[in-house]
Amino acid sequence: MAASELRRRGVLPLQIARAERPKPKFGLTLASGNAKFRPKHLLLFTRELGVLLGAGYPLDRVLERLSAMGDDRPLRTLAGDLLSDVRNGSTLADAMAKHPQIFPAFYVGMVKAGEIGGSLVPVLRRIIDALEKSADLQEKMRSAILYPIMVLGLTVISIVILLVWVIPQFKPMFESSGDKLPLSARMIMSLSDFAIHWGWAVALGLVLVIVLARQVIRRAHHQQRAHGLLLGLPLLGPLMRKGDTARFARTLATLIASGTTLLTAVRIAADSIANRAISAGIRSAVEQIAKGERLAEALRNTGMLPSLALQIIEVGEESGRLQDMLAMTADVYDQEVETEIKRLLAVLVPLITIGLGVVVAGVIGVMLSAILSTYELSF
């Protein structure tokens, strides 16, 4: 199937091998050891590689130093693997390509272009800049999601504590009242009984649903559909679209600056996008570009990127400054994401906090009304 697809694209494959699926869940494991390689390690490795190469050291000496220096085992392990391949006659890009779970496609493509053009050090500086801005964007988006999740988690824990431990303490007081208790109090008591006797089943069911959902979503087709649904969410969807637009524009600008052809650059930049629905849409534009369609028009036909981004890219094509306009697009949407995150946190944080207070106060209010009604009945 791979050979047929490559021939259809006009590419003659010399060798086809099965690749291991990367497992980025808890960290990236190198083949030569149990050390975990995380994005921060990639950024640190690239910085050290660029500094030593810029100082005039030959590549093998640089990798030898990196494999021997520092206390960071993942970096030493990676440098040792690359050094072995380079000394066996491999180029740095080809050696990096053997670790697809560590080096993204755009990283390998830029290093290859830098080696061919004799400008590896400037290319590494562009990669460092792209990695830093991408990490900063991811951190901002993570912070926008993390706090509301933490508050919601605390809300659930508070409700569980009330239902399982607090409310049962009042049960003996209400037993003599029977049906004379307020309806809200009877409902809370029934909910408490259900949580005590069947809460474990509900928790187990939720865990099973989450595990099954993750297994289903891991399949490419279902993952693309799930990511497409995420784009339709009222607040999170536009934020994800803008973040991926910034990542795509910056990666594409960096690849073009390193000398990569437009078709290859668009294909690699599409693979760097986190949302699979947007990534698939942009990959579909590659065929239109290959047929002579302009980049902005091909991307507009996908319906995946915001209109402002398409207008800026179109201006870049018409003025011959596509690389600069792509970088501008990335900066514009980085700023928009930061603004949206601040606005989202400004709305969600007090809203969720008030919601938590209302839920807890409501349960306590119901119990107090039940206690007061019990005293009235006793008199």
* 79 part of a folded domain: yes
The pLDDT, as a whole number, for residue 315 is: 92
**What whole-number distance in Å separates Cα of residue 285 and Cα of residue 270?**
10
Residue 317 has pLDDT above 50, yes or no: yes
Name the domain count of the chain: 1
327 within some domain: no
pLDDT for res 222: 67
Domain membership flag for residue 377:
no
pLDDT in tens, 132-141: 877 777 777 7
In a domain, 54, yes or no: yes
Instruction: Give the domain CATH number at 98.
Output: 1.20.81.30
Structural domain span for residue 75: 29-103
Domain membership flag for residue 116: no
The pLDDT value recorded for residue 106 is: 77
Average pLDDT over residues 11-26: 60
Residue 89 lies in a domain: yes
| pTM (2 d.p.) | 0.65
Q: What is the pLDDT of residue 25?
A: 37
Residue 347 resides in a domain: no
In a domain, 91, yes or no: yes
pLDDT, tens only, 174-226: 666 555 667 777 787 788 888 888 888 888 988 898 888 777 666 656 667 77
Mean pLDDT of 222-234: 78
pLDDT of 27-83, one tens digit each? 344 444 444 667 778 888 888 888 888 888 888 888 888 888 655 677 778 888 888
